[in-house]
Structure 1
């Protein structure tokens, strides 16, 4: 399809190129959806961190309360034993003093609810006095760890040992003991206070804790003393290889940590604290799932809402993109139709060459450009010889075919995009040649003349028996004020000179408008 001449100020693909609306719409919808998802993520992450921070504060407060209670419990028992040890070391014990000691032991146990009992053993580990009315009939305690500790260590500080079953009545107790010396500082025996394990069990149960929550009291070496939930089989087991004793306590005496349990594989937030006065460690743990239970519910609701919003935006975006796409298709069809209409308006429907309307537009453009650049502009006017006779002889249908063949011959000799072949009217044609001097125009004119002749179109009405054309050429350098009409008239004058000189030839007109050269290959 021939290309119409457009406004020279229009530059497709230039800096003012139209924004691809459909791509922009897709990017906008995607950006909105990503922003919504990003905001949701930031809000949920901030909320999660806030819930965890609150849980850490609560865990720290809980372990502080546990540590204070444990320290008070053992300190009360320790103070009782300190006063009793001082009394025993000063007055001694024996058959005469033992009844008084027994009554004193009983009163002290009644005053402290955490005490299971008070027990005095001699240097051989045999029972001397207890807070109970009767002494056990079973053997002594020489085999107990706490007794061996005091027997082998001269320290007068209190010693807390692993939980044991009392040989008095079989109850689980935590032993806290002190060494008893004679007046010469020699080992005389051991005073023991038994802390009820059930006391800590009741204390642990007083806290509102999840069913999967954990609380424990342990020695600083990791030996478990008391635990919630209570499991008798786990009393005395070692926690020394756990993360609290391996990773946390060596660096800080208290703190928090998110730890996965090796027992049930549950992740819990542990708060831990080591007691200042005694070699004890307390810890409390809440499952991470419990801490974030409210967060999970909120995250689910927020995610559903955002998902619905994203879905709505996506659907509206999809509809919008479809509308944009349909609009682009309609616009493309309109543009194609406009281009076709422009071609119809500027080209001859029979020959496909430019018509006079496009020719006049091209002349205005090339005149202005030639004047700016001082370049030569040429025009070839040509006419089919004896065409009326051809129509009369062969009919109008054959005449139209003849015009189309001549147009093809003319078009084939226009080798540049800037060359414009025109059907000027009837059997008359024109060729506008920018940047071409008179010699170039003459050369192309001769190519056209020979191209038509070489087609050997039979024309019985012509002297030569075949179809020929006559051509006139004119060239000049346009200047401001030059007339387009004069330019056409001079080329047209050259054409009439060619006809007057016998047709089937090319005539070149000089700058002044007079015939300069007449060329023909055959005499008509």
Structure 2
């Protein structure tokens, strides 16, 4: 019997090691795949935002050119605008405008290059396709001005009569993407590739692969046609290694981003664990064989001890097996000694199945170390503990339970045990989570303007106070903008309150689009008034943001016959400075309000900075 038992135990043990190895191998691939797909999605979002920023700049510059006159002053302003766009968008190296004959007309350079690009494919395309005014992305090419490899985003310019007026383009610096992707490639030997949907490689860790045609690969011949995102194993067309490959196609541009990780790299950690498991299995097998020899000599003695133990536990089992709570016994190392049959109702496993697993095996990973630490603290001086945690059911779902743990030291036993009673508290937890969610939703609603979806005055005041105190501690600067829609009462009287609400929503969207940092905040302060909070920002920089906001609203071109400009405009008051004893939130708001009043007095549709007007009255006069 001992030989049969030993053989069965060793076979089960080694089968478990083999199963564990296969499971961990599959888990390594699954985990790596999840991380790779997540990284691919993040990089796709980054690429989409990068290209959209360029497209938005082209649109804004194109609109400015369309509505400007042909004077020398207007040309200088357009060149300055293009230079500002090129400076503020890191992925753009230069922005230029070609006339209808292909000559450079405007440029972000200090001087307009004397180069003709009329023979370029993109120029001919826009000239010959008047119906297509959407931005297009070119193949990789060499700039005639800088001589550097580049990628162009181009857009047709049409004259007011619809005729061809030229092409506006932005040179996208591929090195920007290369340096950004390099941060993600160092770990796990990843390779990030940016491609067009026609199969042309735009960015790769090896510069000699840029421009390579990938149309013959499975990605472009089949998978990309079936799904915009996916994960599969490939033999890399770049280095011939077997890799886990994830891809995602951008929804708004003909671009595909992919991330490839060598399978050998994924399995490095698994191989180390596998070698450890084999060494541990050999050691345990040796110990089991030695124990079997000892067991053979102690059979009769152990048989007597087993009968005594069964009699002592009979009464305990009778009680434990007839209650709904799960009763369990574990030793101080976390091995289960007993589990009552009620475990099947709670978790779906039978007692015989789960007792073979560690007491921590089905505890949620986030709670496992907490429970281990709690059990480790139990002893003669600390005999009881109560804890709540999540444990895994047989179907894979997790359920909340409460455990009452008791430290027991039997004088007839060499080691101490933990006796626990476990009950299901999932309904109570669900009710608690619903209450927390309801409170969070209520808080969000109380700080959100229902018309625009922006923050309301309550949230603005709270964030302003918090940022002011933070800037006081750090000695940094803080700026605030007060914004008012010009002649809004006249707009409401002319077009009605429904149109007025729609106007406020559009203006709110334009203002929000001008804020790029997470800490920046725009709020509807009341009626047609808005307020903008700019932490870590000096007044001179806040003025730039204010001008961008004013231009963004002006570019909406919302018709307003009651305005001198014929469209909806805004006036902006700017106040900023260091958050020290000389300033306060109320004084800064008063300064911005006074600056707004001065902007109104000076003719509206303008920005006024309090710091630049020493004589500015900080409190708005009555009336």
TM-score (norm 1): 0.52
Deviation digits for residues 388-408 of structure 1 (CA, Å, limit 9, x no counterpart): xxxxxxxxxxxxxxxxxxxxx
Alignment correspondent of 1:53: 30
Does the CA-based 8 Å contact 1:150-1:190 persist in structure 2?
yes
Distance 2:218 2:80 in 1: 46
Q: Residues 459-498 of structure 1: matches in 2 within 5 Å?
A: none
- Name the structure 1 match of 2:118: 142
Q: Give the drift of 1:135.
A: 2.9
Matched, 1:123 2:100: yes
Q: CA deviation at 1:207?
A: 2.2
Counterpart pick for 2:51 among 74, 77, 80: 74
SS at match of 2:226: coil
Verify: 1:252 aligned to 2:227, yes or no.
yes
Whether contact under 8 Å (1:210, 1:290) holds in the other structure is: no
Q: Is 1:190 paired with 2:159?
A: no
Q: 1:49-448 counterparts in 2 under 5 A?
A: 49-91=26-68, 93=70, 97-137=74-114, 139-154=115-130, 155-207=132-184, 209-210=186-187, 212-227=189-204, 229=205, 231-309=206-284
Q: Relative contact order (C-alpha < 8 Å, sep 6+): which is higher?
A: 1
Any stretches of 5+ residues in structure 1 without a counterpart? Answer: 1-20, 321-524
Structure 1 CA distance for aligned equivalents of residues 145 and 24 of structure 2:
55
8 Å Cα contact 2:188/2:261 also seen in 1? no
Offset at residue 308 of structure 1 (A):
4.8
1:335: which partner in 2? Answer: none
- Quote the Cα distance in structure 1 between the aligned partners of 2:146 and 2:231: 39
Distance 1:57 1:219, change over 3 A: same
Distance 1:94 1:151, change over 3 A: farther
Once the 2 structures are TM-superposed, how far is the Cα of residue 153 of structure 1 from its aligned partner? Answer: 1.9
Alpha-carbon distance in 2 for matches of 1:250, 1:31: 52
User: Shift of the alpha carbon at 1:98?
Assistant: 2.7
Query: Residue in 1 aligned with 2:19?
Result: 42
8 Å contact from structure 2 (residues 155, 169) kept in 1: yes
Counterpart-to-counterpart distance in 2, 1:92 and 1:295:
68
Do the aligned residues in 2 keep the contact of 1:209 with 1:286 (CA within 8 Å)? no
Q: What is the Cα-based RMSD across aligned positions, in Å?
A: 2.8
Deviation for aligned residue 1:266: 1.2
On the 8 A contact 1:117/1:193 being kept in 2, the answer is: yes
Name the CA shift for 1:28/1:260 in 2 (closer, same or farther; >3 Å): farther
- Report how far residue 277 of structure 1 moved: 1.1
Distance 1:262 1:30 in 2: 49
CA separation of 1:44 and 1:255: change in aligned 2, threshold 3 A: same
SS in 2 for 1:245: helix
Checking the alignment, whether the CA contact within 8 Å between 2:185 and 2:191 is kept in structure 1 is no
Go from structure 1 to structure 2 and tell me whether the alpha carbon gap of 1:206 and 1:263 turns closer, same or farther (over 3 Å shift): closer
* Secondary structure in 2 matching 1:116: strand
Q: Quote the offset at 1:165 in angstroms.
A: 2.2
The change in CA–CA distance for 1:94 and 1:119 in structure 2 (over 3 A counts) is farther
1:281 alignment partner, SS class: strand
What is the CA deviation profile of residues 195-230 of structure 1, one whole-angstrom value per residue up to 9, with x for unaligned ones? 111110121122253474210111111111112x2x
Give the number of equivalent residue pairs: 295
In 1: Cα distance, 2:252 partner to 2:140 partner:
19
* 8 Å Cα contact 2:184-2:190 kept in structure 1: no
Residue 309 and residue 211 in structure 1: after superposition, are their counterparts in 2 closer, same or farther (change >3 A)? Answer: closer
CA distance in 2, matches of 1:242, 1:209: 25
Partners of 1:82 and 1:118 lie apart in 2 by 12
Aligned to 1:470: none
Counterpart contact for 1:180–1:190, Cα < 8 Å: yes
CA distance in structure 2 between the aligned counterparts of 1:46 and 1:120, rounded to whole angstroms: 59
Distance 2:286 2:89 in 1: 67
